Structures are given as C-alpha cells and as structure tokens.
Amino acid sequence: MNNIQPELNFNLQNFNTFRLPAIAERVYAPSNVQEFINLLSDLENYIILGAGSNVILSTTSIKTPLILTHKLNKVEIADKNVTVECGVKSAYLSKITAENSLSGFEFLAPIPSFMGGAVYMNASAHGQAVSDVFIKACVYDVSAKKVITLKKEDMQFAYRKSVLQKGNFILLSAEFGLKQADKNEIQEKINNNISKRQKTQPSLKTPNAGSIFKNPEGSSAGALIEQAGLKGKIIGGAQISELHANFIVNLGTAQSSDILELMFFAYNEVNKKFNVKLKSEVIFIGEKTEAEDRIWQKLQS
C-alpha cells in the first residue's frame, strides 16, 4: 500500500541536467525499493525520473505524476559482483568499484546518469558498455504487477537499447560481474576518460543533457552537424555547443521549445546536406504546445 504523500507543484530545475525550470504537478520520492514498488503498483499513470540527463522536461507543464529515484542508492559488493539500486549515480559507482580494485565501470566516471538510466540506455563509452558486465536485474513487471528477475539474455541489449525501453519492465536493481585489476591502472583509465570528455564535450557547468542525437550507422551525429556549419547556432536560450556539435547547451534562459526548435533546425540542415535523418537520443517529458508537438512528431519520424 502506498502511503507516500506527493510534493505539489515541484520545481525540477535541480533534477535535470539541462536545468530547465519545469514544474511537475505531483512528485513522489520513495526512500526505499519497497516504497518504489508500492508506488508502481498503486499509481495508474506515472513517469520515472532518475538523474535527469538525456531528457528534455517540458517548461509548459508536467501533469503526469513523477517518481524521483535519487534516494534508491544502495550498493553491495560481494567479491567481484556488484549489486546496485536504480538511483545509484554512475560516477559514484565507477569510483567505489575502483576503490575495490574492480574493473568494468571506468567508462561511467564522466557520465551524469543514475544506473537505472544507464541500464535502460545500455550506456557505453571508451570501448566499455553496461551490457559487457551485466548479470541480472530485479525489475517490476508492469503488466503482471509483480517483481521478477531478468537475465542478460532477456535484456535485448543493443547500441543504446534494452528491453526496458519497451515499457513493460522497470528496473529496481541490477547485478554486475566485474574483473579484479590493479587499482592504479583502473584509476588511470578513469582519469583518461574524464580528461577526454572534458576536452571534447561541454561539462555540466554549461547545462546540457548529453548527446542529443544517436549516431547514424557508420557515421557521427556530431560530425554531420558540425559539417553542416551549425556549431554555435542559437535559438532563444539554447545553443549548439561550440565544443561538440551533438550537444545543446542551456545559456541560462532556455525553454523546452528553444531546445526542440534547435534540434529540428539541425535535423533539417543535416537531412538537406547529407540525406541523413538523425534520430533523437533524448526523451521529452511533459505536456507539449502544438508547435512542440509538431516538431517532436517530425523528430520521431
């Protein structure tokens, strides 16, 4: 039974990496997995928000109840196996496993996500991926309204894909199998990954949601956008990053409509010049204006 009281008209500016001032009518923040399960069982309609990266939050309104997972952050290490709740920060997991001389999560160090989102998207970088070390997950089955276990073969992992994206399963926790390695070598990999990201991608000091478009097969979305001459392009309070063209940054006053319009501008220019239709990597959460809805539908086609 769910006894958690929602916070009303909650400002999510500190709960999304774009730092958009989105207002959610109702927000729940379960403090443990059982409370999370109770909410999932009781609420008829909801949206789950982890680190708030990889998303555009509507600055019009968010009417659907929102569940924040940031309090679900337990980590258990047993020999070379690590079990984490969905709200564990990816960067923290990289740090804590390195301290225990466990290799496999070095790539997570610069990624601003929670592990729920990392598994959902099968996060990858620097030759490593979530699916490489995944063993099993404890998930909530939405249709059956019960908790079940999914093994690696059930997860349908692919580039930026997992079975979780089909909407019937919600990650509660996951277990991973890492490798014992020299702590200094692990830390050196982490430092290199962080350094590379800082040199090639904007930091969260300039609010952004990470990569905006998926890389087309055999190509790079950032390279195509850059070759179209769009680095630095501004619409409203949003700008295509001058450091990496597959990033849009919030200059301080961006609204969700600015970001969508800038995405659509890049989409059209790349399509005209290279006959390539970029696919959105970010997810839109909340109500859309008519103009936003038109753009979003075109970006999904």
Q: Which residues are catalytic?
A: 160, 211, 281
CA dihedral 284, 288, 290, 292 (to 10 degrees): -30
> CA–CA separation, 246 vs 237, rounded Å?
17
Residue carrying structure tokens 């961006």: 254
CA distances from 230 to 116, 145, 235, 248 (A): 33, 47, 12, 11
Amino acid (one-letter) located at 234: I
| Closest by CA position to 27, among listed 10, 13, 49 | 10
One-letter amino acid of 46: Y
- Token couple for 104: 């496999």
Pairing mode, if any, of strands 234-235 and 124-125? unpaired
Torsion-angle region of 171 (φ positive above 0: left; ψ -120 to 50: alpha; else: beta):
beta
E strand or H helix at 140: strand 134-141
Question: How many Cα neighbours within 13 Å face the side chain of 293?
Answer: 6
Contact 134, 176 (CB under 8 A): yes
In angstroms, the CA 104 to CA 108 distance is 9
Assigned token pair, 199: 């040199």
300 membership: H or E segment, kind and range: helix 290-300
